[in-house]
Structure 1
Amino acid sequence: MSTNAYRGALLGIVAALLLANPAYVGLVMDEPRERSPTGYTATAITPTNASDQRTVVNRVGEEEVLTVAQLEDANEYSPYGPRYRAPERAAESLRAAVESGTARTTGEGVTFTLRRVGANYRYLRTHADDSDAARYHRFDVVRTNGSTVVTTTRVNRSTVAQYLVYKDARLYTALPEYQRETVDEVIAADEYGYRPYNDEFHEVTESVVVKNGTYYVFTTGVHVDDFGPSTKTVVSLLLAALGTLALVTSIGFTLRATRERRDG
């Protein structure tokens, strides 16, 4: 066998090994663990502090505090169809109840909507944001003598916040170990937050976590879209490129060896 033929055969073997790298690269290189695109931050709160009470209402009050304007516009931002039958008229009834302490209606659609929100929410807020102008009311919806009656009682933000804190409080020691580890990382993170490796952490953000006597609420700090190839992909592509080069060179040596044999 001529030198060029030997080189061509050797490079052909090398090329085959390099081009077959997807079969073995995964055995020596692991893909990085998937992380949540959302980075979370932790805020320590004191339940009796007025500023922290505002934080609690804004962070974990969505499922308990209904903003009247939110109900009024609910169907406008519902891409999959109406969420309520008569949200505008229901909002009007709630405003009337806020003004006078009670409101009565007999309409079928508005009755359905009022009873639905009454079953799902405990408090009303009169402004979309938790500004100083916002007013809070405890409200109840009952059916009496063929009419639906809404009654409201004025409460302060402190009452709402205290209710939310203790209703949604979760003890750190009661969390699964993987969530405790994530909570620790989020608490220790900087302003950009920590991106957890488990998708279930968003469940914790809906609660107040109590760790060593300190109350924490969590919020989104940053959202990152991961892009670009992984290290494994880069290595595989590099090996494939080297394999292609080796194959082309092998063909070159083989053609040269064939020509030498013909000329000789």
Structure 2
Amino acid sequence: MASQKFFDYFLLHVVFNTYKNLFSHSKEHEQPGQNNVVDDESTLGILEKALLRTIQDIDSEFTQAHTVLLVFIDFLTFPSDFQINFCMQEALKNEYISGSTAIVVLWMNGQILVGNLGDSKALVCSRKTHFDQENEGDLVTTLQAKELTMDHHPDRDDEKARIEAAGGVVLVVGVPRVNGILAVSRSIGDIRLKRYGVFAEPEVTGWRRLSIEDWYVVIGSDGIFERMSPQDVCDILHDNKDKIDSSSSLADCIVHNAFRKGSGDNLSVIVIPLRQESPPSLEHNQQI
């Protein structure tokens, strides 16, 4: 449901905040004959705010919190404790108790912004040229991984502090889990654990300008990285980029490698080529 709702909510918030920005600008700086415009810096801020609001709205709908109505009435109004408790009871009554991680990459004018909650990852594979000392000093080119996200695991110091402050505990059941149940500390839904510090606030990287050395952006679910590191993923892309021509085959290679290495979790990955030397289309594969 979250992916289906994302674009609707996101577009709503982009349009609303754009008009809000224009209206505020016209009131403060209006001069005869002057056109009101939204510059690039303002647009980046609008997109970031829209992303945060969109995740909140999806979580609200997923847990039947009904705060969408409040958003239309007053964008500065937040639900009271009574409203939250009432909506939680409604969600539990309707058995809306599951949850989901979320990761979003926005790309505009050569810059990207990543919003993440849970344990999916986003990374950039960047070209690095160096001398190979083990092979007679030959000049070699590799792809180096740079992670753009940090996993929200319950044993991370700041996440654990929030959980414990809310009355929850972090227990190791195979892996660290909130109250011995949930292996992530932020998620959409998971209504039973919201009172114990699990919430749907994404961690945002801030806008990052892509360089000419950045070749791929990769977004993957936790199953991809269960048996492989981010560097393993970039190595797969480097080793296979000249061997295949299918629009989805680079993503296929990553999924197949994760499966062969024994990953038993959801295997979903998106590969976005950034350079002309790479296939121009967005590559995607998923295996459950």
TM norm structure 1:
0.20
Bigger Rg, which one: 1
The structure richer in strand per residue is 2
TM norm structure 2:
0.19
The one of the two structures with greater contact order (alpha-carbon pairs below 8 A, sep at least 6) is 1
